[in-house]
Amino acid sequence: MEALHDDKLKFLEEKATQIREDIIKMLVAAGSGHSAGPLGMADVFTALYFHILNHDPKKPNWDGRDRVVLSNGHICPVLYATLARAGYFPPAELKTLRQLGTRLQGHPHRGSLPGVETTSGPLGSGLSQAIGFALAAKLNKEKYHTYCLMSDGEHQEGNTWEAIMFAGKHKLSNVTAILDRNNIQIDGVTESVMPLEPLRKKYEAFNWHVLEINGHDFHQIISACAEARAIYEKPTMIIAHTIPGKGVDFMENDYTWHGKPPKPEEAKVALKELRTLAGKIRSEHE
């Protein structure tokens, strides 16, 4: 994996901010959708598609590509924006989010967009899908790696734990799960709705290698994914601690932004804040 030098770090930080701007524009145009999760995971998605993954936007169905499974499909605006900026389809199409006949549905649909590996909707099924890719790769002696992006709230789903047990039993070291540990869900704080902790110990009990990182630190994201690729005897869970609504002050850490878009005036404030952040990034690296 390429070293993270200062120029690349600047590129990733600027790209993540651009993707956050795209998310705000998409949501306000659609008039519906989720805000907090997509903004919170922009750094992880940027690191994956612009530094970590072995993929080719010009050949989206290339057999040797790494697979990315989005389990919590409601945060799809960040997936769509990242795919567009990575070259899978024109960024201008982002403005069609959730519109009638669009390829950018409210949850990703396999076959609608290049780069979308699975259809996601009901929470709790993504890890099982990712394990299917990983097990197939093992059986076929393929070298691609599978990444599964998950929410913390979906760990309240029983199917998730069946998948965790299966991957641990079969020592599927070619699958890495990345958990968006933002501590919120649509009804409130996870630990009030249905407590999840101790998550790390639970995964370790099912024979997973577990790492905990700051999900907004590119060095930590990239280092954790590199370590996961070096583990050969068990699957890896990366618990990425994130701030829901990251980058937009009035959204950050507010669970009410889990499932609603900004209004036009709110979007103006958010975009102004993100553009200020972009300027700060440029000045810090000069």
CATH number for the domain that contains residue 103:
3.40.50.970
Per-residue confidence (pLDDT) for residue 5, from 0 to 100:
87
Per-residue confidence (pLDDT) for residue 283, from 0 to 100:
82
pLDDT band of residue 123 (cuts 50, 70, 90) is confident
Mean pLDDT of the 83-93 span = 98
**Does any domain span residue 1?**
no
**Does any domain span residue 148?**
yes
Per-residue confidence (pLDDT) for residue 206, from 0 to 100:
97
Percent of the chain with pLDDT over 90: 92
Instruction: Check pLDDT > 80 for residue 286.
Output: no
**Does any domain span residue 261?**
yes
Instruction: Check pLDDT > 80 for residue 2.
Output: no
Entry pTM: 0.96
**Residue range(s) defining the domain that contains residue 114:** 6-284
pLDDT band of residue 279 (cuts 50, 70, 90) is confident
Mean pLDDT of the 42-52 span = 98
How many domains are contained in the chain? 1
Task: Express each pLDDT in 156-186 by its tens digit.
Answer: 999 999 999 999 999 999 999 999 999 999 9
What is the SS3 assignment for the chain? CCCCCHHHHHHHHHHHHHHHHHHHHHHHHHCCCCCHHHHHCHHHHHHHHHHHCCCCCCCCCCCCCCEEEECCHHHHHHHHHHHHHHCCCCHHHHHHCCCCCCCCCCCCCCCCCCCCCCCCCCCCCHHHHHHHHHHHHHHHCCCCCEEEEEECHHHHCHHHHHHHHHHHHCCCCCEEEEEEECCEECCEEHHHHCCCCCHHHHHHHCCCEEEEEECCCHHHHHHHHHHHHCCCCCCEEEEEECCCCCCCCCCCCCHHHCCCCCCHHHHHHHHHHHHHHHHHHHHHCC
**Does any domain span residue 212?**
yes
Per-residue confidence (pLDDT) for residue 22, from 0 to 100:
98
pLDDT band of residue 285 (cuts 50, 70, 90) is confident
Residues in the chain: 286
